[in-house]
Each structure stands twice: as structure tokens, then as C-alpha cells.
A and B are shown apart, each in its own frame.
Chain A
């Protein structure tokens, strides 16, 4: 049966900005799907609001729209592009919900667009709790007793019949947003209120609990001929009650006997058939391993985080195959892209063990509760492959790059019974101390088999201490997943000595292939992992080759942008005919797709693991400038050990990172910097602050994305900061900078060869200086900075880039006060804004950088002296994780908190800003109420905003003291504790649709402000906490009011104006 010939053009919906619960995995599946569709001769249209995606590159899709993911925008795209079909299952919950909305609004029918692959009926059966329940009953598959409650009364009725705990899941939310476990009545009521607010269909599933049962997932595929296969089954180490995205997951399952596995597999096939899925889907089961009883927990009728993990774990390209199924091909007609000889209709066989560990953002948002449960809080994950569970587990533990993992003894039990991100470390420590595994199992509900493995893992330390340190014990430790560093720490030696010892004894890693078939057939795809065995399957080529160090798990401050840069580095190398070798451990990303690079090593990003690969592959050099702090941190050690770092050398990196050296350099260049100093103790810090004058910005040295960074307004706050927030010592000084108030921040991204700097653009922050550049809305080209100021920035940039002997990418940040330019910092490497700027200008910055790194000159590759000309504005919007992190405050500061970004483009800045905000999923109202609650200093400037809003028909609310400053016709509110109406009561009543709340100075959040901001969050109301952003937003609303938003293909940006 050939593929359908009537489908010539297909729209693929992306998943938008990276948020908790919806990360890089959908760029991975989306990009793979696009490539797969084009392989079949289909023209692909992609829409996504996230510019930092490979999917939205012109090399991946034929036509790209970076526009808000809303039904109205999609309808216009459909009207304009007239696709024959649409694929809804590649863009996560966002894509799926949009497709359903388009169907329900009749848009698909109106334009004759067919939903390809899994159809609307299947989606509804899987997603609608009531329909799903009915279907499961019909096919006789067990489900927990539950009710899809549309009212509080229905939910209450159910709670009367079933004892607590109960599980609550709002319908149609992603990553379990708003869901949770109610252990008692107050928790139940709180979750009900939240859930009804968050669910777009105002429906909550209330379910009896299977807390503590084992959780198993089956990744399934089905084609239209009803062929069904299982790609992979996975076992959650954490039991039911912990979201699978929050669990340590192992593939394949470890504790299931064959009959148990086959019962679940057969049930999964029955379910995928009953739903009528055409493509991929994920089915979750809970299994009581004492009785053998199971229930069906959930079905995702689309590609998911788990399918990305299953793809990387097995080598089976799920998205690629699902896209072909959507075109009508059968599994038997599709080739296995890994072996290139066997068909896609088979079930992968693994001959290794895969362990996934999530990465949480609590280091960046310490005020949030660390307890993990049914709602996702992790931002990313890492995966490791080993020939034993212990080996994979040990490798994953070091891949996750968690620094602080020490749990005090008295807290072990707490971290186990109410699990937190630190539970693993608590368990390992408890096992070291000899705690009984059965007791730990009772406290955690973790299967004893896993606790045995953890015990085996920590036991290695004991053998290392006891036995003569020789080949046997060394080999055993390596086979159990221990790093040289860990071994060294146990035996009180340096890691280098362990490394030398290993080499002397010939204890060296070998590389095995991930081939989908457990070596049964010969595979062509070079996708490797290390282990300590006898046969090495990786045969290095004789070609010119370069190794790229990736960026590891996605975390706040090191997101998909860096993976984007790594992918482009690999693509650029391929174009230059140089072999690319990728090292990374993030299963969600495009960089770890087996055909992104020429050779892929799925390994931890530590010195040891990377050096092993370098010694095996012998590349001509290593690229460290695109993998964020992870790769930069490795540069020095690699360089010291004789590895050639390509591009900017260590000296340049060091000068840029070392505040003192950088200060000297700027001084020599005659470039201003905010007054600053360093301090190694409190006294020094107070003295420096006194000299410079408050307010000041303080932060520890050498950190990612401003971790531990704060604006300090007086000596008392300084004492508190030094005392509580950071460790200060001779080795770890704090950096103190003058905080430049009422200023504009901006930054450049550029590419330098040793003679010249090419600047991609100057990106101006919408917010006032002091908000971390990753959290600020950026606009390019500049809106407020004068031409002379811009010229000076370009001039400074070139001087700094050349002085640092930059070869490749560089990002420099500035602050401008009254037209005076200060340099904040320079980073001679790829930055978070590179993908955005590349998309905004159409200039492939990473590719240019990679070409320069490989020795080309800018002038020879078409990068001239001038910045790219733009006939439009592009704004980078930001997305925050606060909703997922109870207790977190939404105020922005110098510490980065955002997880993702959007882009909006238009010929006018305000309209571009509006699109960026819409792209970042903010619900900007066109009418209704706006509450204004501003700090002193902002209040006085707010009257024009109130007038403008009123002119557009908004009601403006404020407390009397603010209202006085705002002007006429303000609807008065009481202070929160002085009765109603107050801002909270009006938010609850639905009268307020937008809030401006600028917090008072310092980190000591006023409780009222905090309550207002949380209330906004929970009711989905945009709350703007920065005055300049309020101004820009009002202007954006004015410019968009009653007008249609622009909509353009990326390649057509600014073209209308040109004509």
C-alpha cells in the first residue's frame, strides 16, 4: 500500500516556549517528523512561537511561521497556506489542544484540512476523562473508580464514598498542572478550586488512589492497517504518586516477570486498538506487585516526553515513523532507519539498561517546596546507558550535574516519606549507614529490587576501602558506574592518579552501539555508549573530525538555546565536510538524535567521560563554546591535558570570567564598567559597598545565570545576604557591582575572527536594568537607544572581542544610563539569545561562528562590517515556571527564573511586543479590568497609563493612595486586609484581567504583593512587575486594539515595508 498521494502539504504544530512539562522533546519529535514528511515529498509548514527550535529552521521546514500558538493565528495560517493535512500529535499538549479547538470551531472542515494520523475521535476518547472511562469499561480494562466532576458538588459526592487520599487531575492541562493528591479535606478543597480554574473545560477527574503501586509505561505504535507494536516499556523507580516526569525511570522494566509484562503489553495493544490511534501513544499502568492487580492510569494519544525517552533509549525513531504512518504508510512499509535493512515493524530489543533522572530548578527558586508529586516541577532530565542498572544509574547521577546533594541525617526519613528531589541522595546515605532496605522500601514504596541495586552501588565504596587497590577492584568499581573522581574521593587520592592507574592496568572503557536489535542485525548508525567490557565497537574514522560538547539536562539558565547552538555547530561541520562527534546526555533534545551529528556518544559530560572519548576518537579539536556552562567548565582541564580547544582560547575565556582581569582589560581599553569590587568576607563586602554606594548587585563568582544574585539596598540586607545566601571564602569571593538605576540594558551577539567582529544585532531590554537578561523581554533593533549610543556599543564590542582574542561566538551585555554606556559582562561563547537573533535577522550566527572556528575569515563568508539590516522589529518574550512551583514569587530580578522564550515580529515595536507576549501564552485582555498597585516612584509616572487604558474602555482599579496619582474614574479598592472589595476579591470574581504590580525595594517581598502575584498566577491573569514593561504593554494594547495582528512567514519579515 503506497502512501497517500492526495497529501502534498502538511501543517505541523509545535509546542511553543519551553515550560515545565513541555520541553525540548517536542522540538526533537517535531523536527524528526518534518524531515520524515519531506523525505516522502510532502511540503511542510511549521508554526511555533519558540524561535529557539530546530523545527523552525528553514533547513527543516519548507515554510515557517513563528507566531503565537492560538486558534485565531492558526486559522489565518491555514487560510493562507491551504495545507491538505495537519499533524497535531508532535506539538505536545499544546499542539493537541489546538487541533481539537480548530476542529471544534469548524476551521478544519471550512478549509478542507484533514487531521492526519491519530484522528479527533481517538484524541477525544483518550483525553476526555468521561469518554476514556466509558471506553475502558467497554473493553474491560480496569480503571480506578473515579468521576469526571464538572461541579464542586459532584466532586464532593465522590469524596463521601471514597476515603482519602484522592487524586485530582484537571482535564486538558499539561504536565499535570494543578493536579495533586488530597490527603485530607482542606487539601481536597484547595485542589478543587485550583483545578476548576486551570482546566480549560472546567472538569476535574477525582480518582481513588493507587499510591505506592508500581508505575509502568508502554510506548506504543499503530498504523492504519491495525499493526501494533511496543517500542519500549519503562518502569518508574518512584511509585505511583510521583509523576512519571518526576520519577527516576528505567528501561526496560526490571521487576516484571514475563507474564506480567505480557499482560500489560496485551492490555496496551487492546487499548491502542480501541482508541484507533494512528501513530504513537503512551499508556501508563499502575501495578500492585503484591497481588498482580493492575489498572490503566492514563493514555497520551500523541508523542510525549516518554516517547522521546523511549526513542533515545531504544534507538527507534518514533516521530519519524509516526509521521510516515500519518501519511498512510504501514509499519511494514517503513524501513528501520538505524539498521537500514530491517523493517520498522518490529519491537526493539535492548541489551543494556537505561536510567533517566530528572533535573529540578530548586537551586534557582529555593523558596519553592521541594516535595515532588503528581505535578511536574522538573525542567529537564538526563539519561544514561549502561550494561547494568548500577552502571547506568551511576552515569546518570553524574550527568544530572547536581552540586548540593548532601542531606543531613535527621532529614533522611523526611525526604523519603514525602519524597523530594533529594530522596535519592538520602536513600544512598541511609544505605551507606546500614539502614534496612525493607524499612526504606516501606517508607518510599520503592521496589526492593532497586534498593538492592542502590545498596550494591554504595557497597563499591566499601570494597574500594577494604581491598588492595588493584585491577580487579578498579574494574569492578568502573563496571558499577563509578567515576574516577568518586573512586579517588573514597581512597583519598587525586582523580588523575586513578586515571593513570586505570590506564596502567588497561581498565579502559569500550563503546557499544545502540542498534535497536541487541546486535542481532548489523546496524549502520553510530550511536554509542561506554561500558567496561572486552569488545569495542566504535571504530574511529580517518576523516577530519571535531568533537562538540553538549549542554546536558535542561535547567533554568541553560535551556534549549544551547542545544540549538550545538546542533547548528554539527550541521555547519557537516556542510564543511568535517565529521562531527556529539557528546551529550539529554534524551529530550535534537542534539542527541542519531542523525544530527555524524557520531553520537550518549555520555555524562565530565572531564573523565569526555576525555575517554577524545582519546578514543582523536579529533583535531573540541568545540566548547556552545554547550553553556557545562562545556565551558570542562575547557580548562581539557586544555591543560593537551586537548586542542577550537575557537576562543582558555586565556580569553578566563579573562572574561575573572572579574579582576576583566576590570584591568576594560581599563586598558578605556571602557566604562559599573563601579565594582570583590569581597571575601562580610567586612570587606560592607566596605566595598560603602565605597561604591547602595544599591548594589551582589553575586558569587563563576555561576550560571545569576544564581544567588541579588540587588541589595542597604547594609542590613548585605549582612543577611552574606550570612544566609552564599558561602564566602578566599576561594569563593562575592562580586559587588554598582546597580545602575533607571537605565536601559542591552546586549549583543556576534561572531569574531581575530581581525573583526560581526554583530548580529543589539538587543534592547524592555524592562529597566536589573532584570536578568534571560528574563527580560528583548527587542531588536533598538527602540530607545540613540544611534550614537549604538555606534559606541558596536565600537566597544569589537574592542572587547578582539582583546579577548575571540574566535567564534561572543555575547556582551551593557547598561546605558543617560546615554553613557557601561559594560556589564562579556562571554566569549554561544549565548541564550543566539537562536532568537538568528531567527530575527535571518543570519545563521552559529554557522558563521563554526566556520570561523574552523579557520575561515568573516569577510570570506559574507559577514560584512555592518549589522544585518532589519525592516521589522522582533521581540523575545519569556515564560516562567511559577505556576508549577507553589510558593515561588513572580517578581523578577538579577537571578534568572524563566524556562523558555517566544518571539513576536512586526513592523511596529508595540505590535511585535504584543505578539511576543501572546506567544509566551499570556492572556492579554482587550477589555475588562486592570488593577494597578505600584511602588512609590512608579505611581507618580502611571497616570498616562491609566488614561490610555480608560480611553480603550478598560476599567482601572486601585487603592485610594494609588488612585490619587492615577487620575479620574478609578474604581477604588480596599487594602487586602481591610475588607472587600479588594484586589483579591475582585480577581476571584473575575472582574480583573490584568494587574500591574511593581514590588517594593529589596527581596523582602511584601506579603500583600506576594499574595496578589500568586492570585494572578493561579487565575491565569498576566501580572506585570516592572514599570517599563507596563508602559510597553499599554502601548502594545493601544497599537493592537481593534486591529488584526500581522502574520508572516519568517522569510518575509519586513518584506512588505521594503516594497
Chain B
């Protein structure tokens, strides 16, 4: 009586029939074959991994991943589908997506389109069924490196391996201005409130805007290259220097613009922390394989407390060059890198991690309260 004939017949075919094949080629020549999903396309990007176990949609739509091919260490992806509620921006930003096991039939009340459908629509190629732990171990031991990913309409891509390797080798991630690509075109206001802040969009995760709106603050999002004058024209009570992709060293000019806003309270997040660091005289450097995940312990040096944080960054602030009027407020408990800085007198502070979470722990949301109290 419970026989579901349609389902029964549909399942009579192999779960992999008619499937496309895909390749991931790392610049050191390592080739990972796998099954293709998402768009049939070829893309290059920096191969990175994240250890977040949930929140794949938040990752995919995080502009900080622009220019990168993202590997999920957690093997089961797509389980609960995709929903507008979990988007951090209007589109996916990764160049390619690497997972162990694709769930093709998501089950969740909020789930709209499936992961593979959305990737197809947004032109993002994906590879699955490969040994993703081997990919991660490679990146861990050799560091992040350029890679090329391709999903083939026909064949297994054997003929294209060489070409893909050449493309991967040619990529120089640190020379590309990704911020320019992901930033908003013109100033836009979000939410209403008694107070207004300006958020400089280097590739903002909308979670940051939502956290401010929730606290009754209007957020004017301005393009990445807005000048101090343009920003001050909105008469903001404070400034948010948000997250974004790429090498902060390319944005020295933006650090200089920030300096001109030091009379206002400033809250830096991720790339914003690095740009403030540069404004404070420090240099930034590239980490071997970055910090990406939702489980990174950070020591709050003032409160002597550990906070579990969401992280997504490949560069860190070098403490050495920080001006005397600045102090390091947070360090990473695992490798000791700088996780937060603050001005000793002025209401300016920044963290390298993501207090807005999405995905990851919400333990640092109090930082928004702290910022709102300053403005």
C-alpha cells in the first residue's frame, strides 16, 4: 500500500548515471579526478580549505572566498539544501567547490534549490567523490597554491590536464584586486536607526550589516575606494572596515583613507583588521595555509579568556611594525598570530575573525554591542 511507484522506478537507475566527470589540478602537478557537479566550466583559483562542518551556503556566498577554490574538510555537503536565509551576499564567490559527498536530495523546510542547481546557475564548477582529506593534507604540508578545476561535458579531461596545470601555474593570487570585483557599485543604505555608520565594502558579509541593523543602527555601505571625504559626507557616527578577499598589501591606499577617519569610532573585521594594521604602521604577511573554519581559539589578552571564533583569512598582521599608540588585543591560541588590535586611546579596534559568524559560533557578537556603545 505504501509503494511509491514513481520513486521506485526513478531509483532503478544508478545514482551516478549520466554523470559528468571533473578534475582538480594543483599547481604542483597533483591531479585529483572526481565526479562533476554544478556548472560545466573551467576555473582557476587559489586552493584553500575550511573546517566548518555546517554553513556551506554561507561559505559559498562569502565574498572573501573570491578567487579561491574551496575544499570542505567535512565530507557531507548539501544535506539541508540552500535558502536565501543563509546567503551572505547576492551570489556565490568561490571559483570552484571541492567536496567529498554531494547530497542531491536536500531535506529541510527552508530548502529551495539544491546546491548543484544553484552552482550550475551561477557558473560555479564543483568536484566531488575525491579524497578531500588528501587535498587538505597536501595544502597543509605545502601551503595554499594555485589550482585549476574543470567539469567536463564529455570525457574525463585526460587531454586537458596539461593545459589546466599551465593555467594554474600562471595564476598569481596576490597580484589580483579581488576587492574591486566584489565591492558594491554605489553607496546604499540598509536599515533604519537613530544612528548611522558607514561600512566600507571590501567584500562585506551581509551578516555584519544585519547585526548592526538589529541593534538599531543604519548602515550605509559605500564602495571600497570611497574617499574619506565621500564617507564623511554621510555624517556617520562610526566606521566599519569589513572583510574581503585578497592580499591587503594591494590596498595601502585604503589604509591611508582609513587613517583620515581616526577621529571616529572604527570597527575592523578581517581584512578591515589588516587594513587598520597597515594604517597603524604594521605590515601583513601571508600564512602558509590560512585560518578557515569555525573552531579557532582566540585569546582575549585583556580579559584572559578564550573565544571560539569563525575565521577566514590567508594573511595576518605582523605585530612588529605596529605604532606605539596601538596594542595587540587578541592572539590565536594555536599559532600565536595577531587576532585583534586596538588603539590605546581612540575608540578604534579590530579583530581578524568574524564576530558576525555565519557560519560558525556566535560567541563574539558582543563586539557589535561594544561598537554600538562607542558611537
Contacts and interface: CB of A to CB of B under 8 A. Distances in A.
A911 B304 CA distance: 55
B187 interface: no
B358 A258 contact: yes
A669 interface: no
A1007 B254 CA distance: 88
Interface stretch (B267-275, B277-285, B359-367): B359-367
A459 interface: yes
Contacts of A440: 2
Given A436-B4, A449-B79, A518-B136, A346 B107 contact: no
B295 A351 contact: no
Interface string A424-466: 0000001001111111100000011100100110010011001
Interface centre among B58, B293, B358 (most CB of A within 10 A): B293
B305 A533 contact: no
By size class, the interface of chain A is 35 or more
Given A349-B74, A388-B76, A520 B105 contact: no
A387 B86 contact: no
A417 to B, nearest CB: 13
A519 B53 contact: no
Contacts of A439: 2, 4
B73 A265 contact: no
A225 interface: yes
Contacts of B73: 349, 351, 518-520
Nearest to B14: A463
Contacts of A257: 54-55, 80, 83, 86, 108, 110
Interface string B24-61: 00000000000000000000000001011111011000
A500 interface: no
Interface string A512-530: 1000011111100000000
A721 interface: no
Contacts of B250: none
B103 to A, nearest CB: 8
Contacts of A448: 107
B359 A258 contact: yes
A230 B16 CA distance: 37
A387 B306 contact: no
A852 interface: no
A174 interface: no
Nearest to B6: A436
Contacts of B159: none
Interface string A321-342: 0000000001110000000001
A351 B109 contact: no
B347 interface: no
Contact of B293 (A254, A345, A349, A533): A349
B51 A349 contact: yes
A520 B293 contact: yes
A520 B107 contact: no
Interface string B124-143: 00000011111011001000
A388 B100 contact: yes
A752 to B, nearest CB: 46
Contacts, number: 185
Contact of B131 (A330, A463, A467, A533): A533
Contact of B76 (A230, A254, A262, A476): A254
B133 A225 contact: no
A347 B86 contact: no
B294 to A, nearest CB: 7
B334 A519 contact: no
B8 A266 contact: no
B123 interface: no
Contact of A456 (B15, B75, B130, B293): B15
B80 A255 contact: yes
B158 interface: no
A1052 interface: no
B85 interface: yes
A534 B7 contact: no
Given A255-B108, A436-B2, A462 B133 contact: no
B11 interface: yes
A225 B137 CA distance: 34
A349 B360 contact: no
A228 B136 CA distance: 28
B136 A519 contact: yes
A252 interface: yes
A259 interface: yes
Contact of A346 (B108, B140, B308): B308
A387 B107 contact: no
A1055 interface: no
Contacts of B357: 262
A723 interface: no
B4 A434 contact: yes
A227 interface: yes
B100 to A, nearest CB: 6
Nearest to A433: B3
A434 to B, nearest CB: 4
Given A258-B55, A533-B133, A534-B131, A346 B358 contact: no
B333 A346 contact: yes
B101 A290 contact: no
A258 B293 contact: no
Given A351-B73, A437-B4, A459-B15, A534 B334 contact: no
Nearest to B138: A535
Contact of A255 (B51, B79, B136): B79
B299 interface: yes
Nearest to A440: B2
A527 to B, nearest CB: 15
Contacts of B74: 252, 349-351, 518
B360 A258 contact: yes
A352 interface: yes
B105 A262 contact: no
A229 B333 contact: no
Interface string B316-328: 0000000000000
Interface in A216-236: 225-230
A256 B133 CA distance: 23
B305 A225 contact: yes
Interface string B289-306: 000011111010000111
B140 A347 contact: no
A42 B68 CA distance: 50
B333 A459 contact: no
B334 A343 contact: yes
A437 B7 contact: yes
A328 to B, nearest CB: 14
B18 interface: no
A278 to B, nearest CB: 15
B107 A447 contact: yes
Given A262-B360, A349-B293, A343 B333 contact: yes
B293 A289 contact: no
B26 to A, nearest CB: 14
A275 B12 CA distance: 53
A397 interface: no
Interface in A237-274: 252-259, 261-262, 265-266, 269
Contacts of B132: 351
A258 B54 contact: yes
Given A258-B58, A463-B14, A347 B79 contact: no
Nearest to B298: A345
B3 A436 contact: yes
B3 A521 contact: no
26 contacts: A225-B304, A253-B54, A256-B80, A257-B54, A258-B360, A261-B54, A262-B357, A262-B359, A266-B361, A266-B363, A289-B109, A345-B308, A346-B333, A347-B361, A352-B75, A434-B3, A436-B3, A437-B4, A452-B107, A467-B14, A519-B133, A519-B137, A521-B140, A521-B334, A522-B140, A535-B137
Shortest 7 CB-CB distances between A and B: which pairs?
A258-B55, A436-B4, A518-B73, A535-B134, A347-B295, A349-B51, A533-B131
Given A345-B333, A347-B294, A519-B133, 5 more contacts: A227-B306, A252-B53, A343-B334, A351-B133, A352-B75
